[in-house]
Amino acid sequence: MFGATAGVVAGLLLAPRTGEETRRLLIEKAREVLDKMDCALRESRDVIEIAIAEGQDAKGETTEAISDAMQDAIEKAQEKPE
């Protein structure tokens, strides 16, 4: 992403345009880059939120399984041998 941005900026600065045109193009390209970064950040946030939710679900399932196993072990330990 940085390399592409640097290439665009260098191309804009070296092209034969007026200062006003160059500034306008730089602002336009900067906005495009910021929009792409914003989109990437939103997508990353969504992926992270899903991963957190899945992790919490897995934690709950694991905790429940351990609790059930411990309860079974306690019950078996309390049984009197015949």
Do 25 and 12 contact (CB within 8 A), yes or no?
yes
Distances in whole angstroms, Cα of residue 64 to Cα of each of 21, 35, 79, 80: 65, 44, 23, 26
The predicted structure's pLDDT at residue 23: 86
Q: At 12, is the pLDDT very low, low, confident or very high (cuts 50, 70, 90)? A: low
Q: Report domain extents, the chain.
A: 2-75
Q: At 17, is the pLDDT very low, low, confident or very high (cuts 50, 70, 90)? A: confident
What are the pLDDT digits (tens) for 22-69?
888 889 989 999 999 999 999 999 999 999 999 999 999 999 999 999
The predicted structure's pLDDT at residue 82: 64
